[in-house]
Amino acid sequence: MRIGIVGLGFVGLTFASTLANRGYDVIGMDIDKAKIKNIESGKVPFYEPKLENVLKNALKKKLILTENIEEIVVKCDFIFLTLGTPMNKNGNIDLKIILTVCKKIGQSLLKLKNRPTIIIKSTVTPGTTNNQIKKILEKESNKKVGKGFGLITNPEFLREGKAVYDTLNPHLIVIGSNEKYDGRKLEKFYNKFHNKKNSIIITNNTTAEIIKYANNSFLATKISFINNISNLCQTLPGTNVDQIAEAIGIDPRIGNQFLKAGPGYGGSCLPKDVQALIACEKSLGVESALLDAVHQTNVLQIQKIIKLVEKTLVNVKNKRITILGLSFKEESDDIRESRSIKLIEILLKKQSNITVHDPKAIKNTKLIFRDKISYNEKIVDAINDSDCVILMTPWKQYSKLQGIDFKKMKNKNIIDTRRILNIHDNDINYIGLGIGY
């Protein structure tokens, strides 16, 4: 059996590398020539812990790369589509990339004798596989799904920063197929790959698509919920949102994960998926008040931080403000929809002088702000002479900072949006977001 992976981002490259590492014949495809070159030389084009070693081993084994989609269609039994489905300006999902690829796959299928199975791992809005992907594939190939090729919706749940672990240890596999045969084939494949009987839900394509959106939207709902409670705590002296999260998290009906209050959720998935589900619901005439509120709460959360800075510094104009953490989460260099980027944009409009530190995301941030802000390799260099430090991303190294690291600040104000600092120094004005003073 040979496996094709189309689109080599977090999901695709991790999947291709772990499969090849376990002895599968894998062809990875991407249209980005520079990216392919990098990967061929063993370099991961983004920061993902542990992936580089896995990739290097995979290249020694059975991972080969191509820019040619036809090669994948002709040679592979399973064709996984792990392409990005970004958000357009209206918050709708942009399916251009995946539909264009499906058109090309359909054209390659036309001349083919084998019957490959096409597996949609990309996040696509409910109805996309049946109403758009299937139609394009059938039209271009002149073949019917089920007979000429298999078509499965198989959403991915891995987290950035834990991509290798999650690929090898998925908590759930969802297989959406309108043909029983294909679903069972993929189920067998996954059980063999993971060398165990996975927890698998087999359903139809559209239900599988909804599961993915429901999952991410529920996670976003938990975060917005706890951020709402965090804002309440902020106004009531003696309260701390973490204690409340701990208490409600003990109730097994609630669970303790995704209850860390902070500056709001970012990244390439949660913000995009909540908005895409809202747009999808609206287009179908479904009431979306809950998700509207989840999204709005997230958008407004950054204003809470701005208010805190303005209360602390009175006037932020010409003040030197340090941002610790630029990536949307720790162990990542990804700044897509990062709350830090939004915060910097607002503070720059208010004419603050911004200085930043991040262990991995400086390079990506420079592409946005260039020389409008200053960048530091060392944390203390970012802190020295500052009027206010705002800790945004909970990188481990920040939690180790001590009072002494802040002693050269011009004015010793710290706003810790993740409450990870442990500083008890009377000289320092420490404000934890979600703590009432």
Known catalytic residues are 269
Minimal distance in Å, beta carbon 426 to ligand UGA?
30
**Identity of the residue, 222 or 357, whose beta carbon is nearer to ligand UGA in the bound complex:** 222
Identity at 415, one-letter amino acid code: I
Angle (CA) 93-44-324 rounded to 5° is 75
**According to the binding rule CB under 6 A, does residue 266 interact with ligand UGA?**
yes
Residue 216 binding ligand UGA, by CB under 6 A:
yes
Query: What's the Cα-to-Cα distance from 151 to each of 19, 126, 137, 268, rounded to whole Å?
Result: 20, 15, 9, 25
- Of the candidates 420, 72, 125, the residue with the CA atom closest to the CA atom of residue 260: 420
Q: What is the C-alpha separation between 328 and 326, in angstroms, rounded?
A: 6
The C-alpha atoms of residue 170 and residue 77 are separated, in whole angstroms, by 22
Site for ligand UGA in 312-341 (CB under 6 A): 328-329
In the complex, minimum distance from the CB of residue 48 to ligand UGA, in angstroms, rounded to a whole number = 10
- How far are the Cα atoms of 6, 127, 155, 174, 418 from residue 94, in angstroms, in the given order? 17, 14, 17, 23, 32
By CB under 6 A, is residue 265 in contact with ligand UGA?
Answer: yes
Write phi, then psi, for 375 (nearest 5 degrees): -115, 145
Query: Among the candidate windows 72-80, 138-146, 257-265, 305-313, which touches ligand UGA by CB under 6 A?
Result: 257-265
- Out of 26, 119, 151, 269, the residue judged to bind ligand UGA by CB under 6 A: 269
What's the min distance (Å) between Cβ of 346 and ligand UGA? 17
Site size with ligand UGA, rule: CB under 6 A: 20
Q: Least distance to ligand UGA from the beta carbon of 207, Å?
A: 17
For residue 16 the two structure tokens come to 């291709």
Closest CA to 117 of 87, 81, 171: 81
Nearer to ligand UGA among residue 205 and residue 227 (C-beta):
227
Using the contact rule CB under 6 A, the part of the chain among 46-54, 139-147, 151-159, 371-379 near ligand UGA is 151-159
Site for ligand UGA contains 156 (CB under 6 A): yes
DSSP per-residue codes, 153-181: E----PPTTSHHHHHHS-S-EEEEESSHH
Residues 24 to 83: which contact ligand UGA by CB under 6 A?
A: none
- 159 contacts ligand UGA (rule: CB under 6 A): yes
Q: H or E segment at 130? A: none
Residue nearest to ligand UGA (CB): 269
- Give the chain's length: 437
Q: How many CB atoms lie within 10 A of CB 251?
A: 9
CB of 234 to ligand UGA, least distance (A): 16
Closer by beta carbon to ligand UGA, 106 or else 126: 126
Q: Is residue 262 part of the contact set for ligand UGA (CB under 6 A)?
A: yes
Scanning 44-52, 200-208, 264-272, 359-367 for contacts with ligand UGA by CB under 6 A, the matching segment is 264-272
Angle formed by the axes of helices 339-349 and 362-369, nearest 10°: 40
Distance CA 391, CA 368 (A): 20
Of 138 and 166, CB closest to ligand UGA: 166
Shortest spacing between CB 226 and ligand UGA, in angstroms: 7
Binding mask 341-370 for ligand UGA (x = CB under 6 A): ------------------------------
Asked if 157 is part of the footprint of ligand UGA (rule: CB under 6 A), the reply reads: yes
Choice from 35, 260, 342, 419 touching ligand UGA (CB under 6 A): 260
Burial label, 141 (beta-carbon count in 10 A; 0-12, 13-18, 19+) = buried
Told to check if 419 binds ligand UGA by CB under 6 A, we report no
Cα–Cα distance for residue pair 184/190, rounded to 1 Å: 10
CB 155 within 8 A of CB 306: no
Strands 2-6 and 78-81: parallel
Looking at the DSSP bridge assignments, the partners of residue 28 are 5, 65
> Does residue 182 bind ligand UGA (CB under 6 A)?
no
| Nearest distance in Å: CB 422, ligand UGA | 19
Locate 6 and state its tokens.
Answer: 């189309």
Stretch 87-126 residues interacting with ligand UGA (CB under 6 A) = 123
Q: Which of 39, 158, 174, 278 binds ligand UGA (CB under 6 A)?
A: 158
Single residue of 9, 116, 150, 267 touching ligand UGA by CB under 6 A? 267
**Measured from the CB of residue 318, what is the shortest distance to ligand UGA in angstroms?**
30
Q: Using CB under 6 A, list all residues that contact ligand UGA.
A: 123, 156-160, 216, 219, 223, 258-260, 262, 265-267, 269-270, 328-329
